[in-house]
Chains A and B, each alone.
Chain A
Amino acid sequence: MLRHLLKLTWKRKSRNLMLSLEILIAFAIVFALAAFGLRYLQLYRMPLGFDSADVWSVTVVPGDNGDKRFDDAVYDGLRRGLAELPEVKGVGFASYEPYAMSTRTGDVRRSAANDKASGRQVRAEMIDGDDALAGVLGLELADGRWFSVLDNGAAQRPVVLNRRMAEAMFAGERAVGQQFINADDARQTQAYRVVGVVGEYRGKGELAAPRNFMFMRFEPGKYGRDARIILLKLRPGTTRDFERRLNARLKLVKNDWTYQIAPLSSMRASMLKTQTAPLIIVGVIAAFMLLMVAFGLFGTLWQNTTQRIPEIGLRRAVGASAGQIYRQIVAEQFMLSSVAIVLGLVLLVQLPLTGAFGESLNWPVFAGAALLSMAVIYLLSLLCAVYPGWRASRLSPTEALHYE
C-alpha cells in the first residue's frame, strides 16, 4: 500500500513539490507565531521580583538637561515633604523605575588580581537605588541584606545582584561579600562589593526576558549620577485624584521643576500593550495567510481528484471499496504534509542548535511550537482533503469510467 502511494506521488513529483513547498512555508509561519506566543507565555509565568501594586513613579524634570547635580538637601527636602502626606507609606529614589523604556547597561568583571581564573566579562543592567527602594518595590532578598547606613563610607560601592547575575559572576560560590570592578572604563575603575542577592528582578515587566541585573547604592553627590525618579508606596485604595495634591506638594518643594507622575499600574498597561502589539499584528496577518493556504489547498486537491477520476473509476471497477479510495486520497495528502513538516523541522531545528535566537528559542519553546504547528498543519491539510476525497469515493465506477 505504502509503496503504491509513494509511486503515485513520485509520478506527479513536480506538482507535489509545489504543494509541499507551500505547506512548508505555511508550517514555518505557524511555527514562528507559536514560538513567539509560547515564549511570551513562558515569560509571563516567571516571577517578576517586585510588587508594583500601589506604587507610583514621579519623574523629576528640572529642565537642566541632566547637567546639574542635586545635593543632599534637595533629596532630604523631597523625602520629608512627601513622607508628610498621609497617603504615602514609603519614599524611594532610583535612576530608572520599573516599566521604564530606558535602560543603562554596563560590563563588569572580577578584579584584575584573579583575572586569569575568571576573567569573564558580564553584561548587566544597572539601576542606582537608595536605601528605601527595596521596601517600596517589595524586593525580597534571597541572601545578604539591602543597602543601609552600615554602608556609609564604604570603600567599594555596595551593590545588590539578582540571582541570575550572581550565578553568572560567581558560579558555585557565595556572592555576598565578593568584589568586582567595571570593565567599561579603563581610566577610572569603580570597585563594587556585593551586599545582597535578590531572587529575581525583571524591570521591563512580565514579557521581558530575564537579564543580569545589579542595584547600586545611591548616595547624593557621589558617583556622578543623580537618581531622578521618586518611587512612592501609597496606601492601598489611593485613587488617581491624589495626583493633583501630590503635584502641589512637589511644587512646594521646588516650584520651577516639572514632575511627571504615573502609577506603575498604568505604565505596566502601556508596556504590555507595546509588547503584545507586534504579536497581535503578526497573528492577524498569519491567520489571513493560513485561511488563504486552506483555500488554495482545497482548490488544488479538488482539481487533482477531478483529474484522477478515470484512475479512481478503474480502481473501483477492479474492486476497491469507497472507503479505500477515500483513505487513499487522505493518506496521500498526509504523506505530502509529513514530507513538508519533516523538512521544515530539519530546517527549523537549526535555530535552537546554533543558538541564533539565544535563550528566547529554548528547547521547551521549540518543542511546544513544533507540536502546536504540526497539529495545525495536519489538521488544515487533512480538512482540505476530506471533502475532495469524499466526493471522489462517492462516484460510482460506471460514471467514473465514462468521465470526460
Chain B
Amino acid sequence: MFRNYLLTAWKVFMRRKLFTAINLLCIVLTLVVLMVFASLLETAFRPSGVEGKSDRFLQVYMVHMESPNGAGRMNTPPGFKLIDKYLKPMPGVERVAAVTLPTSVSVYQDRNVSELKMRRADADYWKVLDFRLLAGRLPTAQDDAAGRMIAVLNATSARRLFPGAPKAALGQRIDVGGQVFEVVGVVEDAMHLNAYADIWAPISTFPTSDYRNQLTGMFSALVLAERAADLPRIREQVARIARGVVHDDPKQWPKIRFWADSKLDLFSRILTFNEDQPDSGAGKVLAGIAVAMLVFMLLPALNLVNLNTGRIMERRSEIGVRKAFGATSSQLAVQLVIENVLLCLAGGLIALAATAGVLAWLESADLIPYLQVDLNLAVFGWGMLIATVFGLLSGVLPAWKMSRLDPVHALKGAI
C-alpha cells in the first residue's frame, strides 16, 4: 500500500519534470534559509567545541540592584569582589571561574597598531573551557599569584602579529596599551559566548588592584558543576547567595539579585528584559523563534499550495478512478500529503547540502568572526523536522480540495 503511494508519487514527479524542479527549488530555497538559522542557533546553544562542557556550567553575567522604594534600578555585570568573596567559596561545585567581558585594546608593534579584543581571566577559566592549545602553555594559578605579565593569543591574532607558525609567537613581547606582555600560548580561534576574544591575560595584570574591592564591574562568573544534574541545585544556591550580598552602600542599594543562567537562559533574559526575576523567559523566546519560522514559511507555503493545486487538477482522472473503486476522501488526502512531505524531505536533503555550502561561505566571509559551524546529526534532525512541517503546511489545503472532487465529474475530466 505504502509502496504503491511511493510508486505513484515517483511517476507523478517524473511526468512533469519542470514542475517538479520548480517545486523542489522553492522547497530548497526556503529550507536553506531556515536550516542556516537553525544550525547557527544549534551552534550557539548546544555544548560543542570550546564550550563543550556548557551542559554543566552556568554563568552569572548580570547583577540587578534596586534602591529602597524601587525607584532606582541598575543592571551591571558583577565585579571581582562579588565572584571572589561570594561565589568562589560555594560548596558542591567543581570550580568557579572569573573572566572579564572582552574589551578593545590596541597592540603596538613598531609602526603597526592592531585592535584586538582582550579578556582577563583567572586560571580556572582555562579549566572550565576546553581551548585547543596550538603551542606553548595556558596560564596557571601560580601565574595568577605572581602577577606575571603573560598573554595567550588566538591563532588568527598570532598570525597577524607574528607571521608564521603559531610557535613563532611564543616568547615574543607585545605592547598592549602600554603594558608589555610575554606570549606564552596560542589557542585555536573560538566564537562562543564565554570564549570569544583575541588575547587573554591573567586578572592580576590589571594596572591597579582596585578591581579587588569592586562588587560591580565588568566581570562574569562561570560556575562549573560536577554533574549536569546538579544545575538546579546550583541555581538555587546562587539565588540564595545573592540575597545575602551586602552592597558597600547598603542604604542606596539594599536589594541585590542575580541568577546563574545557562546560555539559552542568559540570551532570553537579555532579550526579554527579565533581569529582575528568576524566570529568564526562555520559553517565551523559544516560542517566538518557532512562530517566526512558521511565519517565514507562510509565503513559500502559499507558493507551493498554488503549484500543487494545479497539479491536482491534472490528476483528476486518476482520482476519479480511485474514488470509483472505493477509496475514501481521507485516504486520498493522506496520500497527497504523504507525497508532498516526501518531496519536501527530498528537498530537505538537497537543502542540507546547500546549507553546508552557505555555512562554509559564512565562515570564510568573516561576517561573524571565528564562526565555526558543524553540520551534525542534531542539525540534520532539525532540518528534517522543518521540512516535514513545511510539507504538511503546504500539502493540507490542496489535499483537502482534491478529496472533495466529485468522482463522476472527476472521471469525466471536468471540474
Q: Bound pair: A and B?
A: yes
A residues neighboring B (CB under 8 Å): 15, 18-19, 21-22, 25-26, 29, 63-65, 240-241, 243-244, 247-248, 250-251, 255-262, 266, 277, 285, 288-289, 291-293, 295-296, 298-300, 302-304, 307
- CB neighbours (8 Å) of A19 from chain B are 306
A-B contacts at CB below 8 angstroms, number: 114
> Is B328 close to A, CB under 8 A?
no
Roughly how many angstroms separate A251 CA and B208 CA in the complex, as a whole number? 13
**Contact, CB under 8 Å: A18 / B19:** no
Q: List 5 A-B contacts (CB under 8 A).
A: A29-B299, A63-B207, A250-B178, A256-B208, A288-B32
B 77-89 to A, binary, CB cutoff 8 A, 1 in contact else 0: 0010000000000
Cα distance A85–B19 in the bound complex, in angstroms: 72
Contact B210 A64 (CB under 8 A): yes
Cα A244 to Cα B110 in complex, Å, equals 9
* Distance A37 CA – B389 CA, assembled complex (angstroms): 33
Are A260 and B111 closer than 8 Å at their CB atoms? no
**How many Å from the CB of B291 to the closest CB on chain A?**
16
A296-B306, A299-B22 known; A247+B29 contact, CB < 8 A: no
Bound Cα distance A149, B25 (Å): 71
B354 shortest CB reach to chain A, Å: 11
A65 pairs with B113, CB closer than 8 A? no
Contacting pair A291 B29 (CB below 8 A): yes
Of residues 207 through 238 on chain B, the ones whose CB sits less than 8 Å from some CB of chain A are 207-208, 210-211, 214, 216-217
Which candidate, B53-61, B132-140, B184-192, B309-317, is the interface stretch facing chain A?
Answer: B309-317
Size bracket of the B interface: 35 or more
How far is A291 from B310 in the complex, measured between Cα atoms in Å? Answer: 20
Interface of chain A: mostly helix, strand, loop or mixed: helix
A160 to B300, CA, bound (A): 53
Closest chain-A Cβ to B410's Cβ sits at a distance in Å of 14
A19 to B207 Cα, complex, angstroms? 67
Chain B residue at minimum C-beta to C-beta distance from A22: B302
Binds A, one of B98-106, B156-164, B266-274, B379-387: B98-106
A299 in contact with B299 (CB, 8 Å)? no
User: In the complex, what residues of B have CB within 8 A of residue A292's CB?
Assistant: 25-26, 29-30, 299-300, 303
The reply to whether B311 and A303 form a contact with Cβ atoms under 8 Å apart is yes
Give Cα distance in the complex from A364 to B210, angstroms.
Answer: 54
From known contacts A63-B206, A243-B106, A285-B33, infer whether A296 and B217 are also in contact, taking CB-CB under 8 Å.
Answer: no
| B23 and chain A: residue at smallest CB distance | A299
Cβ of B111: which chain A residues have Cβ within 8 Å of it?
A: 241
Considering the complex, give the chain B residue whose CB is closest to the CB of A266.
Answer: B115
Residues of B within 8 A of A63 (CB): 206-208, 210-211
With both beta carbons as reference points, the residue of chain B lying nearest to A25 in the complex is identified as: B299
Q: Please give, as numbers and ranges, the residues of chain A lying within 8 Å of B211 by CB-CB distance.
A: 63
Cβ-closest 5 pairs across A and B: A303-B310, A296-B303, A244-B108, A241-B111, A299-B22
With contacts A29-B299, A243-B106, A243-B108 known, is A18 near B207, CB below 8 A? no
Report the bound CA distance from A299 to B311 in whole Å. Answer: 10
- The answer to whether A247 touches B313 (Cβ under 8 A) is no
CB distance from B74 to the nearest CB of A (A): 11
Contact partners of A299 in chain B: CB under 8 A: 18-19, 22-23, 306-307, 310
- Complex Cα–Cα for A307 and B103 (A): 65
Does the CB pair A25–B19 fall under 8 Å?
A: no
Q: How far apart sit A300 and B306, CA to CA, in the bound complex (Å)?
A: 6
Least CB distance from A65 to B in Å reads 5
Q: Is B175 an interface residue (CB 8 A)?
A: yes
| B302 lies within 8 A of A244 (CB) | no
Selected contact of A296 from candidates B26, B115, B313, CB within 8 Å: B26
User: A288 and B29: CB pair below 8 A?
Assistant: yes
B311 touches A243 (CB 8 A): no
For A288, list chain B residues within 8 Å (CB): 29, 32-33
